[in-house]
Structure 1
Amino acid sequence: MARPFLYRCPITGNNVQGLTSDDAAAEGEKSRLEMVQCLACGGFHLVDPAKGPLPPVDDK
């Protein structure tokens, strides 16, 4: 069963909900990138569901 998570689309800057599998991370694995299709821009992004939303983009 899929589990929802939030990430920030790097194109639009919007928070977007994605789905990830319930597969447990391997022991010692620091991050697991998954490819998701973005509902905000229609593109594909690599995200780490364990980290949650990305920090706000600094426009400087």
Structure 2
Amino acid sequence: MSQDSTARIVAGLRTWVAAAAPGARLPSNRALTAEYAASPVTVQKAVQQLVRLGLVEARPGVGT
């Protein structure tokens, strides 16, 4: 089930990234957890997958 949730979040965030302006920040993990009704670990896995795909850049202390 976690994979389904991760895939659902990745799909939603891919849509968000496509519409966002360059340099825009993703919502916080806490906000994404609430929006997708998923665990923080699942949200983190989804964001990491977007990083691996090269769609977002994670900067410690700054955001994603």
TM tier, smaller? under 0.3
The normalised TM-score by structure 1 is: 0.27
Please state which structure has a larger fraction of its residues in helix.
2
Larger radius of gyration: 1
Please state which structure has a larger fraction of its residues in strand.
1
The normalised TM-score by structure 2 is: 0.26
Point out which structure has higher relative CO (alpha carbons under 8 A, 6+ apart): 2
